[in-house]
Structure 1
């Protein structure tokens, strides 16, 4: 399991981005609200369980935003940065709010996160072909070979060391919502295709 660490500033940004911390509030106030919301108790003690839950929510949010917010470039999911709520995440939330004619705050409160997830899952159901593009650096989820629109990407070495072999089992189930997924490997002179079960 990947361990997600936060500096105080990064955790503050994350809790603000998720709607648990106002700009003038101390960090532990946001921790307390978050823990109450997720049934972790009424105290403001920060532990690994809280950090992991914050990271889990942000990881899911980024995946769903990549599908629902019509981003030109998907939000990165490198393990060093995937758990952070930074400028691009804020802008992606604003983009979704703009599409939905909502007030553009860039803050993904729980009700908005649910809406983003719902829209993303609706979009997954309409995808007729989803393709996996494997390059030297990343494994990319694309809408099709023709339009080259990216939904998500991950570093090739995430989850299985520095192996050069791409292993589909290291990708989340959401990537394989449709059975018609293919791997395209453009590292070779001729693209190679492999049907995924």
Structure 2
């Protein structure tokens, strides 16, 4: 019996499954804002442009890709610099609102990423533990120049980019759904 239990435990550990492993809680923003006009905008969101800024261009591009994939998975059309500048070196990120207007996007996901300290970037060095320290993301209604949804994340060490993008896309979609009024039934 002890031998069977030992073999079973060894198989679980080799497979990467720990019996004491806890599920990580859902990533929540530390601060957020939802404009009162945001409710009900999901069906009329239109094309969404995704342009981020920050001091680390690799982190920007990676999160842009993750956000674009997350929004695409919700069946929303997306335009982002990686798509429009495929195979080209991007010297500097495009100005977000102008990029969105130029390509005819109705909405814009923009924000800022702090992935490592400014000292390391300016000196050309690398930090020993490069991670996203803070991510601020917003959904902007381009024609009205209005921020509909904004969220600030301070992810824990080791939080993957996909977790941040999925959390923001979920938060954005929930914020844009039609809100039921009290007493209303369908």
* TM-score normalised by the chain length of structure 2: 0.24
* TM-score normalised by the chain length of structure 1: 0.23
* Larger relative strand fraction: 2
Bigger CA radius of gyration: 2
